[in-house]
Amino acid sequence: MSELTTIARPYAKAAFDLAVEKGAVESWNEMLFFAGALASDEQVKALLSGIPSAKEQADMIIKLGAEQINEQGQNLIKLMAENERLAAIPAVATLYAEYKSDYDKEIDVDVISATELSAEQQATLSAALEKRFARKVKLNCSVDANTMGGLVIKAGDTVIDGTVRGKLNRLSTTLQS
């Protein structure tokens, strides 16, 4: 996957820069999400594998997504086909969404707890995380019965383990060193 990410990064960045310039960040996000989902679909992959020419593959993707993909999006797909990079469309969509989140100053935060959090607890946690990350926070809460009290918070590369088990592990490590 990292190879696809490396391949997709310049395409995603170029699409994002164009979208910002044209004031169409959200519409590009929707379009790339659709194109990525289309390119990831197993039936579409099977259909494309039977087409020998990259140009014809691009034409097929454009035909399948005709109403969802605008002219500039079609040009991106054609360019990726010319460079034999159509397999990277889903990665382009993912990277574009990351650029959009940074641009919108938003962050997705996964919260794992032993019990379901109330609306009040979620609001308090969201406010505290918004202050810490200086971004608008979107909480994705889940319950894991194996969690012993507290929360595990994952935001990008940051992991905050506030569980009892995590605290005991840190105490154990401190005592052993």
pLDDT score, position 120:
94
Q: What is the mean pLDDT of the chain?
A: 87
At a CB cut-off of 8 Å and minimum separation 6, what does 124 contact? none
Q: Which of 1, 140, 31, 22 is nearest to 96 (CA)?
A: 31
Contact yes or no for 134/164 (Cβ under 8 A): no
pLDDT in tens, 73-86: 888 888 888 888 88
Neighbours of 86 (CB within 10 A): 19
Contact yes or no for 122/139 (Cβ under 8 A): yes
Neighbours of 20 (CB within 10 A): 14
pLDDT score, position 59:
86
Model confidence at 1: pLDDT above 80: no
Domains along the chain? 2-102 (1.10.520.20), 105-176 (3.30.2320.30)
In the predicted model, what is the mean pLDDT of residues 119-139?
91
Model confidence at 66: pLDDT above 80: no
Model confidence at 124: pLDDT above 90: yes
